[in-house]
Structures are given as C-alpha cells and as structure tokens.
C-alpha cells in the first residue's frame, strides 16, 4: 500500500515503517506556538503581577463566571476535611491505596548528600534541601483529577516542602470537586484556592494579597496555563511544559487486538489533541484493529473526544521487525510506551527515550496513571529525549559546601592562579596569592 492511508474507524493505517516515521514527526509537531495566546497570557500575567487580587478576581469573573471576594478564594480547611470523611468507602480505599504506593515509591527517590574529604584535608559537600513553598496547578472546572493531586502533592511532601499550595478552577457553581479536595486532604496540601488559568500561575509566581508566591510550580493545564508557566520560569521554577498526552504501543503477533484498541482509546479519550499510536509486526492485528476500535467506540459513553483524537492524531503502522519499532519509538520519544509483545524484557535495552514504559500485556497504562507508584507527570511532545518524570528532586535544591585548609590551598593555589591568569582575572589569582603569603 506504500504511502497510501486508509481511515477505518477514524484511524490512519500505514503499511511501511518509512511512512510511519514521517507521520510520527507530524504528530510530534502538532502543537505550534500561537501568537494570539501569547499576547493574552502576557496581558494576564502583567495585570496580576501589578494589580494583585483585583486582577485575579476580575479574570476569575470573566473566565470562570465566579464573582468571588478575595477572602472567598481559599477553600475553608473544614470543607477539605469534610470531603475526605464523606467519600464513599470504596473510593476512599482506592485513594488511600494510591497515596500509599506513590509515597512509598517516591521515598526511594530522596537524594543523598555528599560529604567527602579531598587529598589535602579539604572538605567538599553537596547538601539537598526542600523548597520552602510549592504551588500545584490541578485542572478542574468540567473534570476532576484527584490522581493529579496525589502525583504532585506526594513528592512535594516527601521532599519536605514546608507549605504546599494548590490552585484549581472552580466549577460552574463555584465549588471544587469533593474528590479533588479529599485527595488534597489525604496528601496533606496546606492551602487550596479556587482560581485557574494563566491568572492562577501568575498569582503563584508573583504573589498577591491572598495567594503567596511560591518557589516552584508543578502540574498540567491547558495551553494558557502551559504558556504562562513558560513565561514565569526564571521568577519561579517549573516542572515542565506539558503538551497533550500520548501513547505508543509496540505490539507483535501475540497482542490482543481488543486490548490494543482499549489502550489506544484510553489515551484518545483524554483530549482531542491526544495521540494514540501502535507499531506492529502483525498483519492480523492491523486488520482487526479498526473493527475493535469501532465496537468499543459504540460502547463508549462519550465517544466524540476519542473519535476526533483518533481521526486527527491516531496511527497504526506495520513494521518489519520489533527492532524497527523500537527505533521509531526512540525517535518519537513518547510520554507512554507500552510493550505488548511476547518477550518485552528483550526490548528494554534498546529503549532510550520514553517517559514511562509499561512492560507486558498485563500492564495497561492506567495502572501508572493511578496507583502503580511512579509519577504520572511525564515529558510529552518528544521531550523525553532530555527530561523525565516529576520527582522528589523537583521540589528540592542542592548547594555545594567547600571548606579548604591552608594545606589544601598551598597544594593547589598555584594551579588556581595559573587558571585565573589565563582568563585575565587578576584579583581571582590575587585572592589566593595573598593567603599563601600569609603562611
């Protein structure tokens, strides 16, 4: 079939790896910058920076339809506690299980300090310290994401952050989803504010009369939130610039077409810009996949988002070998990579770029989204080439400590002076020379 494509059940089917490579690059570049968004975000950031709560309340009324007074932005602590107590027992157990597993995994990430003695008695150290205040952005409004609360708040708490602040857009009635509040209570979030969008990012970056400035902002959001995080970076640290979600499935003849279809739809239902991709050596899978997708879409309670995602950014492609699939996956650097093959461990040594790898047919991406333990906040849009998952280190800084003795300075001082002279920095060398003369 060559470069020809067939849209069956809104999924592009390609028959060669070369065609797949070209299409994958198009998918990776699906988010181009938008100057109109940039101007809007810059206006919002400047207003909140300069006018504080007044601008924040104005934007909340304009974009969320909520006319709050400043003191109404913060969710009362008793409402947060009540949300946890009121949870249905089965859902509370699920959240507690997720919290426990996420916390246990992230405790293993705490970095160790370095304390070493050099050859001349000098003491050299590196110490890790938690940031004082972290700001979490949790998407809201039409949807609720308690898992995102846990994945952002737990590593902050494990890091030892003194105060964890959370912002989330209010729903149409001005409230915050009770399950989101319950997850925040479980994770130990200190303050929650009913505000979203670029204005919420500005408030956490610059501070207002009501919302304190933070040291780091984490959490996903829409294009306005992402662009706002990009703009405030430097005034505050950020985790990453999140793009739309994506999954790439590598499958062989042993993979179930129905399971592959389910995993693609699990990604496609996130967002119309989500990318759902399968690379397979199996003609049978390629032929059966469209009908499996069609059947599962018929059973889906909200198929519109998935259908649009598959139509615009879905891809199924035939490859000659699994090695070729791994090569294409490395080039794409997916957020999520599933290995639905007979011997998944054999592929792992060749995988260089992926946010998270789901190994074997019993490991759907959903377990990673909710409670496996590793963080679900992952690099998107090819950034897995140089970035990784959100972790405890995101909420920490490190500093170096250098304690020289006179013996150490005497042993290395001439080299320091030589290097300073080579760079034309006279006083650098002089600061060493004067100390050596003293001795």
Compute the radius of gyration of the chain from its Cα atoms.
26
**pLDDT-above-70 percentage for the chain:** 96
**Higher-pLDDT residue of 17, 42:** 42
Q: What value does the mean pLDDT of the chain take?
A: 94
Query: Which single residue is written with the structure tokens 């405790």?
Result: 107
Question: CA nearest 417: which of 434, 429, 405, 433?
Answer: 429
pLDDT level of residue 4 (50, 70, 90 thresholds): very low
- 413 near 435, Cβ under 8 Å? yes
In the predicted structure, residue 2 carries a pLDDT above the cut 80: no
The C-alpha atoms of residue 410 and residue 122 are separated, in whole angstroms, by 11
- 390 near 375, Cβ under 8 Å? yes
Q: Both tokens of residue 365?
A: 């991406």
SS3 track for the chain: CCCCCEEECCEEEECCHHHHHHHHHHHHCCCCCCHHHHHHHHHHHHHHHHHCHHHHHHHHHHHHCCCCCHHHCECCHHHHHHHHHCCCHHHHHHHHHHHHHHHHHHHCCCCCCEEEECCCCCEEEEEEEECCEEEEECCCCCCCCHHHHHHHHHHHHHHCCCEEEEEECCCCCCCCCHHHHHHHHHHCCCEEEECCHHHHHHHHHHCCCCCCCCCEEECCCCHHHHHHHHHHECCEEECCCCCCCEEEEEECCCCCHHHHHHHHHHHHCCCCCCEEEEEECCHHHHHHHHHHHHHHHHHCCCHHHHHHHHHHHEEEEECCCHHHHHHHHHHHCCCEEEEECCCHHHCHHHCCCCCEEEECCCCCHHHHHHCCCCCCCCCCCCHHHCCCCCCHHHHEEEEEEEECCHHHHHHHHHHHHHHHHHCCCHHHHHHHHHHHHHC
Query: Which single residue is written with the structure tokens 């969320």?
Result: 64
Q: Which of 7-21, 148-162, 267-281, 343-357 comes out lowest in average pLDDT?
A: 7-21
In the predicted structure, residue 5 carries a pLDDT above the cut 50: no
Per-residue b/e over 51-67, b at no fewer than 16 CB within 10 Å?
Answer: ebbebbbebbeebbebe
Whole-number Cα distances in Å, 318 to 14, 23, 322: 6, 13, 10
Whole-number Cα distances in Å, 167 to 23, 41, 54, 191, 305: 37, 17, 17, 8, 26
376 an active-site residue?
Answer: no
Query: Which single residue is written with the structure tokens 């999954």?
Result: 247
pLDDT level of residue 10 (50, 70, 90 thresholds): low
Q: Kindly give, in sequence order, each residue whose CB lies less than 8 Å from that of residue 27, ignoring residues fewer than 6 positions away.
A: 246, 275, 277, 313, 315, 332
pLDDT tens for 345-376 read 999 999 999 999 999 999 999 999 999 999 99
The pLDDT value recorded for residue 439 is 56
In the predicted structure, residue 74 carries a pLDDT above the cut 90: yes
Q: Both tokens of residue 126?
A: 């590196």
Question: Catalytic: which of 336, 338, 353, 365?
Answer: 336
Query: Which single residue is written with the structure tokens 């405030």?
Result: 232
pLDDT tens for 90-139 read 999 999 999 999 999 999 999 999 999 999 999 999 999 999 999 999 99
**pLDDT-above-90 percentage for the chain:** 89
Q: Kindly give, in sequence order, each residue whose CB lies less than 8 Å from that of residue 66, ignoring residues fewer than 6 positions away.
A: 60, 170, 174, 194
pLDDT level of residue 12 (50, 70, 90 thresholds): confident
The pLDDT value recorded for residue 6 is 37
- 352 near 48, Cβ under 8 Å? no
Taking CB atoms within 8 Å and a gap of at least 24, the contacts of 39-42 are: 40/198, 40/224, 41/198, 41/224, 41/227, 41/228, 41/231, 42/231
> What's the distance, CA 17 to chain centroid?
29
324 an active-site residue?
Answer: no
Q: How many CB atoms lie within 10 A of CB 91?
A: 12
In the predicted structure, residue 397 carries a pLDDT above the cut 60: yes
Question: Catalytic: which of 246, 269, 324, 335?
Answer: 335
| All domains in the chain, ordered by first residue | 6-31+243-372 (3.40.50.1980), 35-120+130-238 (3.40.50.1980), 404-438 (no CATH)
């Amino acid at each position: 079939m060559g470069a020809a494509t067939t849209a069956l059940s809104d999924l592009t089917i390609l028959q060669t790896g070369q065609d797949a490579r070209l299409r994958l690059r198009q998918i990776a570049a699906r988010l181009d910058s938008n100057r109109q968004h940039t101007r809007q975000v810059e206006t919002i950031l400047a207003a909140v920076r300069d006018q504080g709560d007044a601008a924040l309340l104005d934007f909340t009324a304009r974009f969320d339809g909520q006319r709050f007074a400043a003191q109404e932005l913060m969710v009362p602590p008793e409402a947060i506690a009540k949300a946890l107590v009121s949870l249905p027992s089965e859902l509370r157990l699920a959240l507690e299980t997720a919290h426990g597993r996420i916390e246990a995994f992230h405790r293993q990430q705490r970095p160790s300090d370095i304390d070493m003695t050099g050859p001349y008695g000098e003491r050299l150290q590196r110490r890790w310290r938690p940031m004082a205040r972290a700001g979490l952005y949790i998407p809201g409004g039409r949807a609720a994401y308690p898992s995102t609360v846990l994945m952002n708040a737990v590593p902050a708490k494990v890091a030892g952050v003194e105060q964890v602040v959370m912002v989330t857009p209010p729903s149409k009635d001005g409230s915050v989803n009770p399950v989101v509040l319950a997850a925040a209570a479980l994770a130990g979030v200190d303050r929650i504010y009913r505000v979203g969008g670029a204005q919420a990012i500005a408030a956490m970056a610059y501070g207002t009369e009501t919302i304190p400035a933070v040291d780091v902002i984490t959490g996903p959001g829409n294009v306005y939130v992402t662009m706002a995080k990009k703009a405030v970076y430097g005034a505050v640290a950020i985790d990453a610039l999140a793009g739309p979600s994506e999954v790439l499935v590598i499958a062989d003849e042993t993979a179930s077409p129905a399971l592959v279809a389910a995993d693609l739809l699990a990604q496609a239902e996130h967002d119309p810009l989500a990318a759902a991709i399968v690379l397979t050596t199996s003609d049978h899978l390629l032929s059966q996949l469209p009908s499996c997708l069609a059947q599962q879409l018929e059973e889906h309670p909200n198929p519109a988002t998935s259908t649009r995602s598959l139509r615009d950014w879905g891809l199924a492609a035939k490859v000659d070998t699994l090695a070729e699939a791994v090569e294409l996956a490395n080039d794409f650097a997916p957020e999520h990579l599933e290995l639905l093959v007979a011997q998944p461990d054999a592929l792992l040594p060749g995988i260089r770029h992926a946010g998270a790898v789901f190994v074997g047919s019993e490991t759907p991406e959903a377990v990673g989204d909710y409670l496996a333990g590793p963080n679900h906040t992952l690099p998107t849009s090819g950034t897995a080439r140089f970035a990784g998952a959100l972790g405890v280190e995101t909420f920490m800084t490190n500093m170096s400590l250098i304690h020289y003795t006179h013996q150490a300075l005497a042993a290395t001082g001439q080299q320091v002076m030589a290097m300073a002279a080579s760079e034309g920095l006279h006083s650098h060398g002089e600061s060493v020379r004067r100390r050596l003369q003293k001795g």
